[in-house]
Amino acid sequence: MPSSSLRRDLLLRLMGPLVAVVLVAGASAWGLAQHFSQRVLDQWLYDSAITLARQVRFVAGKARLDVPGSAIEMFEMDVVDEVFYEVTTTAGLRIMANSAVPPPTEGPDLAAESVYYDTFVRELPVRAIAVRVQGGGGEAVLVKVAETRNKRDSLANEVLVATLAIVAMLFVASFALVATGIGRSLSSLQPIVQRVRGGRRAFSPLPEGRDVPSEIRPLVKTINALLREISEEHAGRQRFIADAAHQLRTPIAALRLQLELALREKDPERHEAVLADAAAVLSRTSHLIHRLLTLSRVDQAAEDRTPFVEVDLDRLAREEVESWIDRALAKGIDLGYEHRGGVPVVAGREELLREALSNLIDNAIAYAGPDGPITVGIEGDPPRLFVEDSGAGIPEAERERVRNRFYRMPGTPGEGCGLGLAIVDEIARIHGASLRIGPRSARAGARVDLEFSPEGPGRTP
Ligand SMILES: Nc1ncnc2c1ncn2[C@@H]1O[C@H](COP(=O)(O)OP(=O)(O)O)[C@@H](O)[C@H]1O
Ligand SMILES: [Mg+2]
């Protein structure tokens, strides 16, 4: 299929009506010209017949025709056509003739004074006229004059050629007008193309002013909305890369210092201590890199358009609790699971939901302290997946901020990097779910919910 072009499309669409209009105009012009030119020739035929009819005299009821020979010669003289005449009484008696001319189809008793008709004389097609002349004593005469069609045919041909020439000129002229008109209208798109092409800053919006044709303004608006979205996304990514680079620079600078120190340190005990510090920094860095990779994987999953599958949250939570139980026990924490009702099935991506839950359990074990139990649970319909602990909790003022990338509450211990809740938040967004952060009870603890919505894509179809 050829590529789409507005110019070609408009021209093709206009071509049909244009051809039709030109043809109708041409046909009408031809018909009119034909009609009037034939009428002029008919008038000549009528004049001849009437001249002849005036010569008819009725003497004692009998019709007589006295025409001088020179007049007859004048009458018959025509370079292009042959002229035939016949004068008869209505009873059929021939008075004068140079050839037999058949009467009109309605017979010799004409309704009008004269009648035109087409017939054949000596096997030649002719145009004929019959004129009736009424005598005093009931006698009547029929004058018939016929003429071959040479003048008429060549006149018709000339009219046809002239009309065709006019039609062709009309067509070429209107096509040229339409084509230049379309070209002019479409050229109003040029400035926009120019502005898109020429020296723009990345993501700056296209002009939506009055000089933009209203037909393409919706397109320009859509492109601008898209540009804004891409620009915001781009800015977000830039920020993230800058933050990530900043986060990595600090431990790597520390690591370099420690290793330089270790190289110079001669005392075996201090040498070992410096190396242990370096190993701890390295472990934190590796944890940070692991989290960065997870976040980038989750970001990519947000673009993934493959359909969700049914995920059994009950089984997923049991398995996840199972895998964390040893680490909880090692810190003296009681980690348990409770299904508090509701249908625990959602449409989603299992590996992402597992990652989210794992991050929440990780936080609870890291920040809640050994004071109380941690409960992973499911309740409600649509289901809520939650993790609650009995630690210090997250103060209300911090509940929004802790979702931000790289944010940690001041004084938070451990090797975290502030990406855990950001990852959970993104996974919630992908599932059309919301991440709710609150206290476990009025007095203490934290409770973090992953709340699936009834309409969201996280719900089973
Ligand atoms: N269960 C919790 N109890 C107390 N504070 C928490 C809890 N979960 C998260 N936080 C706070 O929120 C911050 C952000 O958590 P997160 O995004 O997982 O990053 P990280 O765990 O790497 O610090 C933590 O640094 C901590 O201050
Ligand atoms: Mg964390």
Could you tell me the two tokens for 141? 């005469």
Task: Using DSSP bridges, classify how beta strands 446-451 and 384-389 pair: parallel, antiparallel or unpaired.
Answer: antiparallel
Q: What is the separation of C-alpha 83 from the centre of its chain, rounded to a whole number of angstroms?
A: 70
* pLDDT (tens digit per residue) in 185-242: 888 788 778 777 765 677 888 878 787 888 888 988 999 999 999 999 899 889 889 9
- CB-ligand 1 contact for 367 (6 Å cutoff): yes
Ligand 1 nearest atom to the CA of residue 291, by list position: 22
Could you tell me the two tokens for 245? 């680079």
Task: Starting at the earlier edge strand, list the strands of the sheet with 446-451.
Answer: 335-339, 374-379, 384-389, 446-451, 434-439
Q: CA 239, CA 296: separation in Å to the nearest integer?
A: 14
Q: CA 39, CA 37: separation in Å to the nearest integer?
A: 5
Q: Which of 363, 390, 404, 441 to mutate to test the pocket of ligand 1 (most atoms within 8 A of CB)?
A: 363
* Amino acid occupying residue 306: T
* Amino acid occupying residue 40: V
If phi > 0 it is left, if psi is from -120 to 50 it is alpha, else beta; for residue 381 that is: beta
* pLDDT (tens digit per residue) in 112-171: 889 999 999 999 999 999 999 888 777 889 999 999 999 998 988 898 899 889 889 988
Q: What is the separation of C-alpha 156 from the centre of its chain, rounded to a whole number of angstroms?
A: 51
Per DSSP, 392 falls in state S
* Amino acid occupying residue 4: S
- CB-ligand 1 contact for 364 (6 Å cutoff): yes
pLDDT of residue 2: 64
CA 137 → CA 131, 144, 218, distances in Å? 18, 22, 92
* pLDDT (tens digit per residue) in 388-439: 999 999 999 999 999 999 999 999 988 889 999 999 999 999 999 999 999 9
Q: CA 206, CA 203: separation in Å to the nearest integer?
A: 9
Lowest mean pLDDT among 8-12, 294-298, 328-332: 8-12
- CB-ligand 1 contact for 445 (6 Å cutoff): no
SS3 416: coil
How far, in Å, is the centroid of ligand 2 from the Cα of 176? 72
Do residues 440 and 388 lie in contact, with contact meaning Cβ atoms separated by under 8 Å?
yes
Place of tokens 């087409």: 118
- CB-ligand 1 contact for 440 (6 Å cutoff): no
- CB-ligand 1 contact for 408 (6 Å cutoff): yes
Looking at the predicted structure, is the pLDDT value of residue 1 above 70? no
CATH number for the segment(s) 217-298: 1.10.287
Q: Which ligand is nearest to the CA of 406?
A: 1
CATH number for the segment(s) 6-157: 3.30.450
User: Residues with Cβ within 5 Å of ion ligand 2?
Assistant: 363, 416, 420
The CATH class of 304-451 is alpha beta
Q: Identify the residue whose C-alpha is closest to ligand 1 atom 12.
A: 402
Do residues 457 and 347 lie in contact, with contact meaning Cβ atoms separated by under 8 Å?
yes
Ligand 1 nearest atom to the CA of residue 417, by list position: 22
Average pLDDT, the chain: 89
Looking at the predicted structure, is the pLDDT value of residue 183 above 70? yes
Could you tell me the two tokens for 311? 């995920």
The answer, yes or no, to whether the previous bond of 382 is cis (omega within 30 of 0) is yes
> Residue 439: beta bridge partners?
446
Considering only CA atoms, which of 338, 311, 328, 314 is closest in space to residue 369? Answer: 328
Q: Identify the residue whose C-alpha is closest to ligand 1 atom 13.
A: 408
Helices (H) and strands (E) in the chain, counts: 9, 14
Task: Using DSSP bridges, classify how beta strands 114-121 and 124-134 pair: parallel, antiparallel or unpaired.
Answer: antiparallel
* H-type alpha helices, 304-334: 313-330
Q: Residue 56 burial (CB < 10 Å; 0-12/13-18/19+)?
A: buried
Do residues 408 and 246 lie in contact, with contact meaning Cβ atoms separated by under 8 Å?
no
Do residues 56 and 143 lie in contact, with contact meaning Cβ atoms separated by under 8 Å?
yes
Percent of all residues in the chain with a pLDDT value above 70, rounded to a whole number: 97
Q: Which ligand is nearest to the CA of 422?
A: 1
SS (HEC) of 133-193:
EECCCCCEEEEEEEEECHHHHHHHHHHHHHHHHHHHHHHHHHHHHHHHHHHHHHHHHHHHH
Q: Which ligand is nearest to the CA of 423?
A: 1
Q: What global pTM score does this model have?
A: 0.63
Q: CA 165, CA 425: separation in Å to the nearest integer?
A: 77
Domain boundaries, the chain: 6-157, 217-298, 304-451
How far, in Å, is the centroid of ligand 2 from the Cα of 358? 9
Considering only CA atoms, which of 262, 260, 261, 254 is closest in space to residue 280? Answer: 254
Confidence class for position 456, pLDDT limits 50, 70, 90:
low
- CB-ligand 1 contact for 389 (6 Å cutoff): yes
- Phi then psi for residue 295, to 5 deg, are -60, -40
Ligand 1 nearest atom to the CA of residue 368, by list position: 3
How far, in Å, is the centroid of ligand 1 from the Cα of 376? 17
Could you tell me the two tokens for 224? 């601008």
Q: Which ligand is nearest to the CA of 387?
A: 1
Could you tell me the two tokens for 334? 């009681």
- CB-ligand 1 contact for 412 (6 Å cutoff): yes
Considering only CA atoms, which of 214, 213, 197, 196 is closest in space to residue 205? Answer: 196
Per DSSP, 348 falls in state E
Q: Which ligand is nearest to the CA of 388?
A: 1
- Phi then psi for residue 89, to 5 deg, are -75, 160
Q: CA 420, CA 356: separation in Å to the nearest integer?
A: 8
How far, in Å, is the centroid of ligand 1 from the Cα of 264? 38
Considering only CA atoms, which of 431, 434, 432 is closest in space to residue 449? Answer: 434
Could you tell me the two tokens for 95? 């008075």
* pLDDT (tens digit per residue) in 116-125: 999 999 999 9
* pLDDT (tens digit per residue) in 87-123: 998 888 898 899 999 999 887 777 788 999 999 999 9
Q: Which of 404, 405, 412 to mutate to test the pocket of ligand 1 (most atoms within 8 A of CB)?
A: 412
* pLDDT (tens digit per residue) in 337-365: 999 998 899 999 999 999 999 999 999 99
Ligand 1 nearest atom to the CA of residue 359, by list position: 18
